[in-house]
Amino acid sequence: MRNNNRVDAKSSQSLIGLLYFFVGLLTLHIGIGALILLWYVIWTVVRCVKGLLALNMGEPIGNPNSWWFGET
Residues with Cβ within 8 Å of 13's Cβ and at least 6 positions away in sequence, in order, are: 47, 64, 65
Asked whether 32 and 23 are in contact (CB, 8 A), the reply is: no
Q: What is the pLDDT of residues 49-71, one digit of tens each?
A: 888 888 899 988 777 777 676 66
Taking the complete model, does pTM exceed 0.75, yes or no? no
Q: What is the pLDDT of residues 11-25, one digit of tens each?
A: 677 788 888 889 989
At residue 8, the pLDDT reads 60
